[in-house]
Amino acid sequence: MTDGRYGEDLFEPGHPEEAERIDAGALVYDPVTTRRLRALGTGPGSRCLEVGAGTGTVARWLLEEAGAAEVVALDRETAGLAALAEPRLRVVTADLTDESLRLGSFDLIHARFVLMHLPERRRLVARLAQWLNPGGWLVLGDALEVPDALDVASAYRRVMDAMWQALRTTIGTDTSSVPAYPHFLREEGLRNVAAELVCPPLVAGSPLARFWSETWNRMRPALEETGRVDASVIDEALDYLASPRLAELGPGMVLAWGRRG
């Protein structure tokens, strides 16, 4: 296991472009997430926990659009969330892995692009499931790529592979258990378990292309340290991402959900 942590060894919250990078991802995935949360009945009166709230776009949606009674927005770094705090939106600065954390119980717990970065993810799924009220939903969203097995040499492929490897070795990110999330939810005794995979279109100039180019740029030293790519391959992949030649099934998001009986 690696000793590195999200926010310390990669994606430091103080970096001037970090909020912009997270917002680019949120622009793409918020419609997918909120459509699912709506379909699961998230609505007026609910008490919600938004785990790893990032820039707070989902927490705000829960409050303003879904009419939640209370939203707890938890993140280990909350400088960018503080301005959102109001009586019904409580910002909690805490590490999800902190065993002493006590937040009460919830009708909805949502964690997007957080557990994949935390090596303790299986234990954390159990913990989050324990914090559900009867009838409450746990909704997990994490990345999954369906790579083109026929492409082993393009700059895009090589940089993507280097990225997953670098994320794993520096901070312990691992998406290999994302397809197992429905099983994890069942093992925790949750019912009505289901999952979907959504791969939004990867189009040059789109927020999703911006998200990946920003991520690769931020990770340049770590990408090169894998020994899989050098600066010129990274530049080639970045040019491709911004060009009309771009033609890829981009990484998607698995959403998995289950309900406490």
Ligand X SMILES: C[S@@+](CC[C@H](N)C(=O)[O-])C[C@H]1O[C@@H](n2cnc3c(N)ncnc32)[C@H](O)[C@@H]1O
User: Which stretches of the chain bind ligand X, using CB under 6 A?
Assistant: 6-7, 13, 22, 25-26, 52, 54, 75-77, 95-97, 112-114, 117-118
- 115: DSSP letter: G
Q: Which is nearer to ligand X, 211 or 240 (CB)?
A: 211
Cβ of residue 231: shortest distance to ligand X, in angstroms? 25
Q: Which is nearer to ligand X, 7 or 258 (CB)?
A: 7
Cβ of residue 7: shortest distance to ligand X, in angstroms? 5
- Which helix (H) or strand (E) is 219 found in, with range? none
Cβ of residue 117: shortest distance to ligand X, in angstroms? 6
CA dihedral 160, 161, 164, 167 (to 10 degrees): -90
Q: Alpha-carbon distance 207 to 81, whole Å?
A: 21
CA 74 to chain centre: 14
- 86: DSSP letter: B
Can you read off the two tokens belonging to residue 130?
A: 């324990």
Q: Which is nearer to ligand X, 30 or 235 (CB)?
A: 30
- Angstrom distances, CA of residue 233 to CA of 40, 211, 240: 43, 18, 11
* Pairing between β-strand 132-144 and β-strand 252-259 as defined by DSSP bridges: antiparallel
Q: Which is nearer to ligand X, 94 or 152 (CB)?
A: 94
Which residue's CB atom is positioned nearest to ligand X? 54
Cβ of residue 6: shortest distance to ligand X, in angstroms? 4
Cβ of residue 14: shortest distance to ligand X, in angstroms? 11
User: Are 212 and 240 in contact, with CB atoms under 8 Å apart?
Assistant: no
Q: Which is nearer to ligand X, 119 or 136 (CB)?
A: 119
> Collapsing DSSP states into helix, strand and coil, what is residue 42?
coil
Q: Which is nearer to ligand X, 128 or 162 (CB)?
A: 128
- 178: DSSP letter: G
- 75: DSSP letter: E
Cβ of residue 91: shortest distance to ligand X, in angstroms? 12
